[in-house]
């Protein structure tokens, strides 16, 4: 029997991680986020700091704001650039890890093209979270403890990088809403309302509306 896979694509600052955690806690699913980087690094025989640097959401602007994950730091080590895997190799390794997790658990996967990886999976629900710029800037400013102006730049550059990442590795436009089963704008729906709606959909789709499960 196939395990359940819920994938969440999101605009930065729209609450994707909070939703993923709520789904995992409610249904006892395995939340796949940072562990994916560790497992992929093991496959690629590289370090997690390099993969985090190459994550879909990481841009040069984030690095300059946070001051982390620069080549040559102790976290990255002394490997030459020639030994590092490229974006395609990283995506393939993450795909392998995600599918391995899905064979063993019901999972909720956050970003990293997971909506595409599981598009033909028989028990897959894909969710896309969006919000207006003001909503996202406010959340990003609070999360990273940065100014509103830096948050605006961070939001815009991160979205540009995610668009390029998905297009390069899947050939798809991440803003084509046909990629997703559910699309919610968090700037016009209370988070709790949106969260409860999605929990209800998951319950109805996979558990036949039996709230005891």
Stated pTM of the model: 0.82
The full set of domain ranges for the chain reads 5-204
pLDDT in tens, 30-76: 998 878 888 888 888 877 777 777 665 434 444 444 443 333 333 33
Statement: residue 101 has pLDDT above 90: yes
Taking alpha carbons only, the member of 144, 113, 130 closest to residue 32 is: 113
- Distance, in Å, from the CA atom of 93 to the CA atom of 89, rounded to the nearest integer, reads 6
* Size of the chain, expressed as the number of residues it contains: 213
Taking alpha carbons only, the member of 55, 13, 60 closest to residue 36 is: 55
Is domain 5-204 classified as CATH 3.10.20.30? no
């Amino acid at each position: 029997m196939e395990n359940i896979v819920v994938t969440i694509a999101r605009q930065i600052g729209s609450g994707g991680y909070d939703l993923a955690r709520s789904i995992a806690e409610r249904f006892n699913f395995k939340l796949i986020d940072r562990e994916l980087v560790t497992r992929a690094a093991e496959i690629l025989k590289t370090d997690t700091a390099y993969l985090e640097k190459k994550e879909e959401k990481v841009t040069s602007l984030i690095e300059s704001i946070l001051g982390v994950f620069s080549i040559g730091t102790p976290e990255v080590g002394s490997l030459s650039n020639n030994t590092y895997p490229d974006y395609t190799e990283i995506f393939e390794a993450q795909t392998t890890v995600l599918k391995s997790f899905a064979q063993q658990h019901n999972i909720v996967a956050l970003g990293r093209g997971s909506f595409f990886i599981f598009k033909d999976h028989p028990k897959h629900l894909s969710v896309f979270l969006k919000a207006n710029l003001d909503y996202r800037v406010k959340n990003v400013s609070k999360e990273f403890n940065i100014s509103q102006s830096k948050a605006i730049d961070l939001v815009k550059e991160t979205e540009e990088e995610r668009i390029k990442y998905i297009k390069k590795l899947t050939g798809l436009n991440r803003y084509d809403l046909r990629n997703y089963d559910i699309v919610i704008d968090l700037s016009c729906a209370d988070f709790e309302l949106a969260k409860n709606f999605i929990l209800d959909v998951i319950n109805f789709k996979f558990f036949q509306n039996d709230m005891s499960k």
